[in-house]
Amino acid sequence: MPSLFDPIRLGAIEAPNRILMAPLTRGRATREHVPTPVMAEYYSQRASAGLILSEATGISKEGLGWPFAPGIWTEEQVQAWKPVVESVHRAGGRIALQLWHMGRVVHPDLGGGPPVSASAIAAPGDAHTYEGKKPNVTPRSLEAAEIPRLLDDYRHAAANAMKAGFDGVQIHGANGYLIDQFLRDSSNRRTDEYGGSIENRIRLLREVTQAVADTVGADRTGMRLSPNGEVNGVVDSDHVALFTAAAKALDEIGIAYLEMREPRPGGNFRGAEMQAPASPEMRKAFSGPLILNSDYDAASAQAALDSGAADAIAFGRPFISNPDLPARFAQDAALNPPDMDTFYTQGPEGYVDYPALEAADA
């Protein structure tokens, strides 16, 4: 069986190890969603990851509802991403951009208009705004006639990502955002060709993935799913059947990899004890590399590879506070604890000031 330190091919990307950096929203872009210079330092510090999966990045103003998160729909954003990508490449790394549409959890105060979703059902809880959290509003149901426009937004964002120099893209189909809202029967009550049966509910996932793959190449297209219990108010009555069908559809398109946030007992993600894991059945339906992510340490990650449950593991919080995480795993070194109070602040503190091993030893 492979070790965490063995290389792996992810479509067109040759990753030198199987310790991937998971997508991590950090809120260091401008109010206009333009990447900033400190982001280049942050990502280049973590270039030893087998592949960096960038923070979720808005494909359009309509779809971005997180303050100070970056976008990829304007030329200014593309040009600001270029030095970030170049810094990662100079450090020997590889980086893919995650494409994000948040759907019903975008608040109108962010200027993108009324939020859209599969159905006119408000998400529970609060949305993020520049004035703090506010109750989620009821979205309007995205009309079938608008789907081509949405697909064009994904194509445009994917093309911009390649223009900025990224090695590939990852579609965010997880965590209760727009694609996930179409997938789950709790948030999708449609009666047209995008609702009802599982085959209909995975239609948007299939069409978005095909549009992006046609734009950048299937071998540079990845997908993130979260076949778990409730998150952002979405849940499904038969998650194993749903996500196995989704995995089969993605396999038919031939994407480079499938990365999943699937909670495990004792983890920090809601729904961890609610449902049986879907990944074993999805593994049978998806023939490409399967990447798991949820509260792994080095030992449990290697065990997942040894058992054949996954081909690589994506790490989130450990990469926030340990920019040299692969080296720390290799040396069985202690990990810096993350400071949760700085996860979404706009300054360098808790972002680019975590020490690497050499600095810690000194």
Catalytic residues: 177
Cα–Cα dist 29/130, whole Å: 13
On whether the CB atoms of residues 338 and 317 are closer than 8 A, the answer is yes
Type of residue found at 109 = D
Six-digit token string for 243: 């996500």
Residues in CB range of 311: below 8 A, 6 or more apart: 2, 8, 18, 257, 289, 290, 291, 305
Residues in CB range of 54: below 8 A, 6 or more apart: 23, 43, 95, 96, 97, 98, 166, 170
Cα–Cα dist 283/247, whole Å: 8
**Cβ-defined contacts of 185-191 (< 8 Å, 24+):** 185/236, 185/237, 186/233, 186/234, 186/235, 186/236, 186/237, 187/104, 187/117, 187/118, 187/119, 187/121, 187/123, 187/233, 187/234, 188/118, 188/119, 189/118, 189/119, 189/121, 190/118, 190/119, 190/141
Cα–Cα dist 257/273, whole Å: 26
Which of these, 133, 108, 103, lies nearest to 118 by C-alpha position? 103
Residues in CB range of 145: below 8 A, 6 or more apart: none
On whether the CB atoms of residues 228 and 271 are closer than 8 A, the answer is yes
Cα–Cα dist 218/314, whole Å: 20
The string of DSSP letters for 241-264 reads HHHHHHHHHHHHHT-SEEEEE---
Cα–Cα dist 261/258, whole Å: 10
